[in-house]
Amino acid sequence: AQSVTQLDSHVSVSEGTPVLLRCNYSSSYSPSLFWYVQHPNKGLQLLLKYTSAATLVKGINGFEAEFKKSETSFHLTKPSAHMSDAAEYFCVVSDQQAGTALIFGKGTTLSVSS
Amino acid sequence: EPEVTQTPSHQVTQMGQEVILRCVPISNHLYFYWYRQILGQKVEFLVSFYNNEISEKSEIFDDQFSVERPDGSNFTLKIRSTKLEDSAMYFCASSVGQGARNIQYFGAGTRLSVL
């Protein structure tokens, strides 16, 4: 069975400092992995996706994530946080063998202070 | 940029009443989904829909739930007799194709409050 664990429910950083949001997954097959972001009163927006191509994936707004099969991790990083990055971030796994449903982590709230 | 639209943004209802949550998927998408997020919990898959049929559903999606595409643009989720525990944020999503490689695009959600 698939599952996703986001290791931090809340991360606080200062503007201009690096961001690290941690995600571990469990999947029986070759997973596809995603990071979605949700700003207040907005829909879930796709930040980036991994689907068995390059293990380092670049997304929008300067975010990137690295797929590490040996560690079953897909951590999200950004070198320098911006105030507009404050939002809820969801790590998501999908398994081609298991159908179309996306499996979400609980989410990490990112706060950015000036 | 095309987006998934959900209405209303907030729905308040009395326990036992029927509610219909509405979604307008992206126009060239063929696969439609409903998810929900109870406050403080994970976003959970409810159902996927293709070619006017349910293609996959979770164990949450019991007989009180139904989905429909009543016309060429709307995709609805009906809850027949709401319970307190149905209070949640409901997200609609759509995708061009199916499978893990297809991106699901989400709406902003409808917050359902059952009193």
Above 80 in pLDDT, residue B113? yes
Residue B102's pLDDT is 80
Nearest to B104 among A41, A102, A105 (CB): A102
pLDDT tens digit sequence for B4-62: 999 999 999 999 999 999 999 999 899 999 999 998 888 999 999 999 999 999 999 99
Residue A99's pLDDT is 64
Interface test with A, best of B89, B105, B106, B111 (most A CBs within 10 A): B106
Q: What are phi and psi of A59, to 5 degrees?
A: -120, -160
In terms of Cβ atoms closer than 10 Å to its own Cβ (0-12, 13-18, 19+), residue B91 is buried
**Chain B residue whose CA is closest to A51:** B101
Distance in angstroms (rounded) separating the CA atoms of residues A1 and A29 = 9
**Chain A residue whose CA is closest to B92:** A43
Q: Is the CB of residue A91 less than 8 Å from the CB of residue A33?
A: yes
Residue with more model confidence, B64 or B98: B64
Q: Which residues of B touch A44 (CB under 8 A)?
A: 43, 91, 93, 106
Above 70 in pLDDT, residue A98? no
Q: Which residues of B touch A9 (CB under 8 A)?
A: none
Q: Is the Cβ pair A100, B31 closer than 8 Å? A: yes
Cα-Cα-Cα-Cα torsion B3, B4, B8, B9, nearest 10 degrees, comes to -70
Would you tell me how many other CB atoms lie within 10 Å of the CB of residue A48? 19
Nearest to B3 among A43, A90, A94 (CB): A43
Q: Is the CB of residue B34 less than 8 Å from the CB of residue B102?
A: no
Q: Which residues of A touch B56 (CB under 8 A)?
A: 99-101
Residue A96's pLDDT is 62
Q: Is the CB of residue B46 less than 8 Å from the CB of residue B61?
A: yes
Above 80 in pLDDT, residue A29? no
The residue assigned the tokens 């049929």 is B53
Across all residues in chain A, what is the average pLDDT?
91
Which tokens hold the place of A15? 């503007």
Q: Which residues of B touch A95 (CB under 8 A)?
A: 100
Residue A83's pLDDT is 96
Helix, strand and coil content of chain A, in percent to the nearest 5, comes to 10, 55, 40
Residue A53's pLDDT is 74
Distance in angstroms (rounded) separating the CA atoms of residues B108 and A69 = 32
pLDDT tens digit sequence for A31-84: 889 999 998 877 889 999 998 778 899 999 999 999 998 999 999 999 999 999
Looking at the DSSP bridge assignments, the partners of residue B90 are B36, B110
Nearest to A85 by CA among A27, A11, A34: A11
Distance in angstroms (rounded) separating the CA atoms of residues A83 and B77 = 36
Report the Cα B61 to chain-centroid distance in Å: 11
